[in-house]
């Protein structure tokens, strides 16, 4: 199927549409996920205020100075977070994919950030529980560390098309 003639007006339109579409997706997800993470940080601030003044005692919502303070105090965790998320940030490139596999990989890439959103929601509920039950800080640290760095994907292996195609053939050989 031929979409556009190289160098023709169709190619220019397709290129412009691709660039504009990419910019829209970048802006949408920046606002969408940026806003969600901002909301998550507000919940964290309410449960664990930076300045020690509780929100219920008139501490207010976090300001720019609070975010700068967090980066100064805990910015060294950023490389560890990047290391933990390296498969999402720097996915391995496969050049031997069929068009169907590549389309599935793109779809997986669009869904992957929502898995992190689910994790953040679970952590918000855990932080509320930890705050109201006054859990020990070490327990909170261990749970958060495990949520980010424990390799849960090892317990939930992803099925690959190749593995599902090979299994029936192996079963047929064993049965014969």
Please give the chain's pLDDT, 176 residues, in tens.
Answer: 455 455 666 777 888 888 998 899 889 888 888 888 888 888 888 877 776 666 666 666 788 888 888 888 888 888 887 887 777 777 666 666 666 666 566 666 667 777 778 888 888 889 889 988 988 888 888 888 888 777 777 777 766 555 444 445 455 455 55
Structural domain includes residue 2: no
pLDDT for position 8: 66
Q: Which residues contact 129 (CB under 8 A, 6 or more apart)?
A: 135
d(CA 48, CA 42): 10
Q: Are 49 and 59 in contact (CB under 8 A)?
A: yes
**Domain span including residue 102:** 13-49+62-156
In a domain, 167, yes or no: no
- Say what the pLDDT of residue 96 is: 67
Distance CA 39, CA 150 (A): 25
Instruction: Tell me what pLDDT residue 167 has.
Output: 47
Q: Which two tokens stand for residue 118?
A: 């689910």
Report if residue 4 sits inside a domain. Answer: no
How far, in Å, CA of 36 to CA of 112, rounded?
A: 15
Residue 141 lies in a domain: yes
- Long-range pairs for 17-21: beta carbons < 8 A, 24 or more residues apart: none
pLDDT confidence of residue 23 = 92
Number of domains in the chain: 1
The answer as to whether 163 is a domain residue is no
Q: Which two tokens stand for residue 47?
A: 């449960």
Question: Is residue 27 situated within a structural domain?
Answer: yes
Q: Look at residue 168 and tell me if it is in a domain.
A: no
- pTM for this prediction: 0.54
Whether 5 maps to a domain, the answer reads: no
The span from the CA of 61 to the CA of 57, in Å, is 12
């Amino acid at each position: 199927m031929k979409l556009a003639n190289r160098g023709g007006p169709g190619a220019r339109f397709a290129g412009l549409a691709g660039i504009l579409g990419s910019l829209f997706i970048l802006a949408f997800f920046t606002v969408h996920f940026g806003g969600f993470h901002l909301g998550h940080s507000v919940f964290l601030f309410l449960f664990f205020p930076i300045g020690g003044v509780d929100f219920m005692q008139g501490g207010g919502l976090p300001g720019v100075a609070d975010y700068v303070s967090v980066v100064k105090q805990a910015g060294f965790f950023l490389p560890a977070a990047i290391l933990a998320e390296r498969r999402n940030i720097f996915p391995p490139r496969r050049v031997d994919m069929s068009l169907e596999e590549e389309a599935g990989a793109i779809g997986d890439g669009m869904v992957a950030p929502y898995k992190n959103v689910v994790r953040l929601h679970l952590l918000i509920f855990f932080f509320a529980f930890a705050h109201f039950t006054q859990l020990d800080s070490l327990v909170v640290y261990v749970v958060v560390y495990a949520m980010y760095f424990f390799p849960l994907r090892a317990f939930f292996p992803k099925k690959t098309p190749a593995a599902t195609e090979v299994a029936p053939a192996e079963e047929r050989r064993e049965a014969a």
